Amino acid sequence: MAIAYVLTTVEPGFVKTVLDGIRNVPGVVDANAVTGPYDIIAKVEKENADAIGKSVVAEIQTIEGVERTLTALVVEL
């Protein structure tokens, strides 16, 4: 199982819409609006890193109002 945090910046006025959309993406286990340089942080769990990447590109980045995403994969040390 791969885990990643997806940090998202959103066009003004679209945070609630984008947050609701992200929460409906399969594999998203938690998503919250936050303060700071990003507007939303989501925790995503999928079978592998490739599946996470495909989900971000095909399902999260295509939500109306998303400006950009940054995906941070969790690594075990």
Name the class of domain 2-73. alpha beta
Kindly report, residue by residue over 22-71, the tens digit of the pLDDT: 999 999 999 999 999 999 999 999 999 999 999 999 999 999 999 999 99
Model-level pTM?
Answer: 0.96
Nearest to 21 by CA among 67, 64, 53: 64
Domain ranges in the chain are: 2-73
